Amino acid sequence: MDVERQMQNQESQNHSKTGKPQLVVISAPSGAGKTTICKILAERNPDFRISISATTRPPRKTETDGVDYFFISEEEFLKRVEAGEFLEYENVHGHYYGTLRKNVESLLKQGFTVLFDIDVNGAIKIKKQFPEAILIFIRPPSLEELKKRLRERQTEDPQEIERRLQRLPEEYAKAVLFDYDIVNDDLMATVAQIEDIIRTHQRKEQDHVSN
Ligand code: ADP
Ligand code: 5GP
């Protein structure tokens, strides 16, 4: 199925909306837990949708095209860059990843809160375009725990894990630009904390409109 058809599938599912749609960007070092957190947030909150990125990275065994990512060739990715289809894109760990403008605009228009699981540089680019976006940086409880999560995920070999860990200093340095900085120790406590942040922003905007 092509990217456009898959985007329509994501949009047409039923939902109910409970507040002003927000843009919520969740960034973290690889293995800290952001993908797991975003999936649980979207499962528990019918008014939340994850922005599905396009990537040139090959799919992992557990991943589905059009659900986890739109897996496309480098040629197609660069064509879409030329056509201005990305809100932002980055080369992360040696592969291209990008947020599709049309996808995000359509979800917002339908009233969904959009969750972005993207890298720190992508997060900063989103904030420049949407100053109201909520930027949340997720940390692992320790470096040892991060390594353990990466090993136990069993999706990258030791060399690729090392490559991902080399990006840590750049990622931690940019955490200061985020609105929130959270340690993902207990998974469900982290999810609840993020839900609380989003609902608080929604309430504040609601109060602002009614005053
Ligand atoms: P990321 O998307 O940040 O690279 P993942 O969501 O893939 O990270 O999580 C990496 C691994 O850590 C996964 O196997 C996930 O199940 C696990 N994990 C995520 N959060 C926690 C947590 N709070 N405690 C223990 N394991 C976790
Ligand atoms: P992974 O290969 O582990 O799925 O993702 C690698 C990194 O790329 C993660 O930090 C992830 O958040 C980031 N990423 C995924 N999609 C995008 C995107 O559309 N834009 C940017 N800038 N980063 C992305």
Residue 7 predicted with pLDDT over 70: no
73 C-alpha to ligand 1 centroid (Å): 27
| Average of per-residue pLDDT values in the chain | 92
- Quickly state the pLDDT bin for 1 (edges 50, 70, 90): low
- Which residues fall within 8 angstroms of residue 200, CB to CB, at 6 or more apart? none
> Which domains does the chain show, CATH number per domain?
20-210 (3.40.50.300)
Distance CA 184, CA 34 (A): 9
Quote the ligand 1 centre to 38 CA distance (angstroms): 11
Task: Enter the DSSP assignment of 116.
Answer: E
Q: In sequence order, what DSSP letters do the residues of 35-66 get, joined into one string? A: HHHHHHHHHH-TTEEEPPPEE-SPPPTT--BT
pLDDT at 9 over 90: no
What is the position in ligand 2's atom list of the atom closest to the CA of 155? 3
Q: Which of 34, 97, 100, 126 to mutate to test the pocket of ligand 2 (most atoms within 8 A of CB)?
A: 97
pLDDT of res. 6: 67
Model confidence, pTM? 0.92
